[in-house]
Structure 1
Amino acid sequence: MECDRLREITACDFTAVALQQYKGLDIKWPFVSGNRNDKYKYITVRLGKGIAGKVISSSSIMKIDNFPESIDGKSTDYPIMLAERLVSAFAVPLIWKGIPRGSLLVGYREACEFTEKDYDKMKEIARRVEKLLPVYFLD
């Protein structure tokens, strides 16, 4: 799975794919690697909320270098960070039919600064994950 590959390539603690539901605005985390528990299965955020919702709604990358100190808003607005006890995270949008419909996330359980090389790796894996989206969205 691409999440496992990305975790190996980046040497991160946690990787995940969040996808907007086929119908509606809810966003879930159906694919993860490196999780410490099953809480991710019960996390649902709305468009514009949490890391995934913000990445999808803005169609732009999001970096968190030191959670919860370096975030806007409340820590409870970032349930995946809390559930997996992540301190640093980097997420890029996943595009389906020209529209952002998902987010690819890498996370670390300690403070980490992300480099341009990390961003390039994420973009490469994101393009591979996007090719799998038609199966998820029943194209």
Structure 2
Amino acid sequence: MTEIKGLHAVIELCNQLLDNVGCEFVGLALQNEVGPDVRWHYASGNLNDKYERITVRFGKGIAGKVISSGSAMIISDFPNKINGKVTDYPIMLAEKLVSSYAVPLFFNFVPKGVLLIGNREKYDFSEEEQESVKEAAHSLEDVLKGHITL
């Protein structure tokens, strides 16, 4: 499994994002070094530790879909207007999130991680908030690139 060695910097970046955007949850998921599965490695603003036990297949769940597509994903009113079943979104269920915005993290030009922000009520993330998440994702890529072997 992928091990995060620069964890202090990751925690700091996620906590800053939580404060700067004013969201209720920030999560970081990474694809395992071996195999296609994706696991949530860190969360800030979490209600419990269920995120630590969530593993999704490549292409499944928010993390798997963002990694497989290499593009951002936004949900503003979960579980309404989603593709697939509610159970396809375990991080939304575990954290009682209603809205989320997730962006891919790229390593060697390949999407291998996800940075997700969320709220526990219906919410539309502004362009500025989305830009803040993208900037934080780039910072995380820089912090993690020396620590992740792909």
TM-score interval for Structure 1 and Structure 2 normalised by the shorter chain: over 0.9
- Partners of 1:108 and 1:34 lie apart in 2 by 10
> Over aligned residue pairs, what C-alpha RMSD do you find?
1.1
- Partners of 2:36 and 2:20 lie apart in 1 by 31
Matches within 5 A, 1:3-82: 3-82=14-93
Whether 1:126 and 2:140 are equivalent positions in the alignment is no
- Partners of 2:147 and 2:120 lie apart in 1 by 29
| Cα displacement (A) at 1:134 | 2.5
| Cα displacement (A) at 1:135 | 4.2
Percent identical residues:
50
- Partners of 2:148 and 2:33 lie apart in 1 by 6
Residue in structure 1 matched with residue 120 of structure 2 by the alignment: 109
Aligned length, in residue pairs = 139
Runs of at least 4 residues off by over 6 Å? none
| Cα displacement (A) at 1:138 | 3.9
Secondary structure of 1:30's counterpart equals strand
The AA in structure 2 aligned to 1:70 is K
Deviations 1:37-68 (A, max 9, x none): 01001000011000000000000010001000
TM-score norm. by structure 2 comes to 0.89
The AA in structure 1 aligned to 2:94 is A
| Cα displacement (A) at 1:70 | 2.0
The AA in structure 2 aligned to 1:92 is V
- In structure 1, stretches of 5+ residues that fail to align are none
Secondary structure of 1:104's counterpart equals strand
The AA in structure 2 aligned to 1:94 is L
- Partners of 1:132 and 1:49 lie apart in 2 by 26
